[in-house]
Amino acid sequence: MALPLALSGQDLIGQARTGTGKTYAFGIAMLQSIGKPRKNRKKPRGLVVVPTRELAVQVSEDLVTAAGKLGSRVLTVYGGRAYEPQVEALKAGVDVIVGTPGRLLDLVKQKHLDLSQVTTLVLDEADRMLDLGFLPDIERIFKLIPTERQTMLFSATMPGEIVALSRKYLNRPTHVRAEHESGEGETTPQVRQIVWRAHRMDKIEIVARLLQAEGRGLTMVFCETKRACDMVAEQLDTRGFAVAAVHGDLGQGQREQALRAFRNGKIDVLVATDVAARGIDIDDVTHVVNYDCPTDDKTYVHRIGRTGRAGRTGISVTFVEWEELTRWKMINQMLGLDFAEPEETYSTSPHVYSELNIPEGTKGVLPHASRSRAGLSAERIEDLGETGRPRGRGGRRRDEREERQERPARTPRQRRRTRGGKELAETAAVETPEVELVDAKAEETPAIFSTDEIQAAAEPKRTRTRRGAASSAIEQALAEAPEAPVKATRLRRSADAPEAPEAPVKATRSRRTADAAPEADAPAATEEAPVKSTRSRRAPAKADAVAEPRTVAEPVAATEPVTAREPEPEPSFLATPPPPVRKEPERIVPPNPFTVIFQSPDLATDDDDIAPSAATERKQQRRQSRGGGGNRRRAG
């Protein structure tokens, strides 16, 4: 019905279900009015404005097919591609331009495109352009083309904004509605619609089983957001399906690569947002899945319209979550459907297998024997000279993971232990002493040695033994010790001990008591040069010597001379008391060497009175004032 009116040059508003051939309805009439191309005519005569890039590519391909005999020059103009090829084609001359509003206005602003000779203007999917906010751009395009023109608007739905736009810019248009008289946005009768109420975490399992149904061809899965697209595509790719994603965050080359692979059958699942829900005509699409519930009735009509095109049949499955029931009831009421209360469905529900013709026992992972698709990587990415920053896909492809798995395993790293630049195997085994050596230079006070100790130092030293041997040595030493309480002295030997036998021996201090006679014992003590009865460590006589093990008690005659302490008598009350022991202040170690800690001395004594508080002073002042006042009254 629209073709005779379009050939006569009248303004037209065409409304029909998606997939009924609206492109040829305006394309044939426009190409017929333009006629054959001429050499002296370089400016375009026909202009087709579409909302999305994918739809621009599809419409231009249909127009090239329709203009095969005429030889009309058709140019596709849209964003995401390089400007240079489009500018060169415009300089060479074109007859029809198909493009998106943004790139058309950019070329007009750069003075590469002149729309002053356009005689036919077509707005395809006009309602979608208004939804995307292209109304100001469309109004600017109307002002750039001549007033005397033929304008045609085509869309599957006809909201009030399109009617208002047609009244403003169209000249007495004719509204043509195909097939159905009542209701707008009628769904395709060839599509069997299924609506289920599903849980969010179980939807991917249902989709994985649906993709293994018998007789399934190409399938489109629609999501509401770009992130959901990437998530679903990655999940299905992990389960073994040949899948690709199409949304606005991908580069134009990647989007066209996915659509070409989908048309050529290299992938059989296309996950997309509503950017691919308008006008995309792909053969053999048998199933459409609304993974997320549509926002309105028009979106639902365009989504399920990707299947059942040109007289074919198809199946659409819509998932509705519990919080989306109100939205779905509005869509169901607007379209007059019979799914006001969707059936509650899970991946293990029996009616899932029966309604979708899924074999019993099917799981959510595609068997390896059924993975026959080449995949997205088999389709070449065309270099379009994309503008802007490069954008990549959100999920990893299965082929990339397989390539990583095919890489040879890394050889284990062999570590070699070296010492002094040589390997540990080549160097001789070095026995390290179990007892830690003490540096003789670290001691400030000189060590005291005797003749017996110097002889004992020349003898080979005993090494540290196990617990049993040490206990036997302790018992033997205790048995040989005298009855008097003797305390063994521990000395520290320096490295030069054998070479200094004539060193003067320091006299030891002993505690004098009232009953002792130090004058009589002094000469003997001086001649024998007894050793100081203090604790000190022993160092090896040589650098390579091993330190002598420490024991509780050692034989007095064999190794070390000792001095016996006399029993201390009870203190007398006449004796002078010992001087008070002065406690050294606690040493404060700062956590940081650059930190300075100040500790104020405590100058207070026990006789100091506690300073009164401000409240106590006020109370005293009040008492004094009251007492003084009373005395004055008595005196008066």
Mean pLDDT of 556-582: 61
For residues 183 and 602, the model is more confident at 602
Mean pLDDT of 554-566: 49
How crowded is residue 83: how many other Cβ atoms within 10 Å of its Cβ? 15
The tokens for 24 are: 């040829």
Per-residue pLDDT tens digits for 130-144: 877 888 899 899 999
How crowded is residue 206: how many other Cβ atoms within 10 Å of its Cβ? 25
C-alpha 183, offset from chain centre:
49
- In whole angstroms, give the CA distance from residue 284 to residue 580: 107
Closest C-alpha among 309, 246, 247 to residue 281: 309
Q: What is the pLDDT of residue 433?
A: 45
In the predicted structure, residue 399 carries a pLDDT above the cut 60: no
- In whole angstroms, give the CA distance from residue 421 to residue 423: 7
Q: Which of 179-188, 259-268, 575-584, 598-607 has the highest mean pLDDT?
A: 259-268
Closest C-alpha among 547, 282, 289 to residue 435: 547
- In whole angstroms, give the CA distance from residue 74 to residue 62: 10
Mean pLDDT of 434-452: 48
Q: What is the CA radius of gyration of the chain?
A: 51
- Going by pLDDT thresholds of 50, 70 and 90, the confidence category of residue 186 is low
Mean pLDDT of 417-430: 61
User: 222 near 288, Cβ under 8 Å?
Assistant: yes
Measured at the CA of 425, the angle between CA 421 and CA 429, to 5 degrees, comes to 95
Q: What is the pLDDT of residue 533?
A: 41
DSSP string, 471-485: HHHHHHHHHHS-SS-
291 Cβ contact list (under 8 Å, min separation 6): 203, 207, 221, 222, 223, 228, 232, 271, 319
Q: What is the pLDDT of residue 467?
A: 54
Mean pLDDT of 22-44: 84
Burial pattern 142-155, b for ≥16 Cβ within 10 A else e, equals: beebeeebbbbbbb
Q: What is the pLDDT of residue 557?
A: 43
Q: What is the pLDDT of residue 283?
A: 78
- Which fold would CATH assign to domain 191-397? Rossmann fold (3.40.50)
- In whole angstroms, give the CA distance from residue 196 to residue 342: 5
Mean pLDDT of 322-339: 93
Q: What is the pLDDT of residue 317?
A: 96
Per-residue pLDDT tens digits for 280-330: 778 789 999 999 999 988 889 888 988 887 678 899 999 999 999 999 999
C-alpha 56, offset from chain centre:
37
Give residue limits of the domains in the chain: 2-177, 191-397
Mean pLDDT of 161-168: 82
Question: For the CA atoms of 398, 404, 406, 408, what is the dihedral angle to 10 degrees?
Answer: -170
Where are any strands of DSSP class E within 223-374?
243-246, 269-272, 285-290, 314-320, 343-344
In the predicted structure, residue 372 carries a pLDDT above the cut 60: yes
- List beta partners, residue 422: 419
Closest C-alpha among 367, 373, 344 to residue 209: 367
| C-alpha to C-alpha distances, 548 to 386, 435, 457, 551, nearest whole angstrom | 82, 8, 9, 9
Percent of the chain with pLDDT over 90: 31
- Going by pLDDT thresholds of 50, 70 and 90, the confidence category of residue 249 is confident
For residues 203 and 13, the model is more confident at 203
Task: Work out the mean pLDDT of the chain and round it to a whole number.
Answer: 75
- Going by pLDDT thresholds of 50, 70 and 90, the confidence category of residue 396 is very low
For residues 12 and 212, the model is more confident at 212
Q: What is the pLDDT of residue 487?
A: 47
For residues 121 and 381, the model is more confident at 121
2-177 shares its CATH topology with 191-397:
yes
Query: pTM for the full model?
Result: 0.57
- In whole angstroms, give the CA distance from residue 16 to residue 154: 8
Mean pLDDT of 34-50: 87
Per-residue pLDDT tens digits for 502-529: 444 444 454 444 444 434 444 443 344 4
The tokens for 593 are: 């060497």
The tokens for 543 are: 């650098």
- Going by pLDDT thresholds of 50, 70 and 90, the confidence category of residue 478 is low
H or E segment and range at residue 221:
strand 218-222
In the predicted structure, residue 336 carries a pLDDT above the cut 80: yes
CATH of domain 2-177: 3.40.50.300
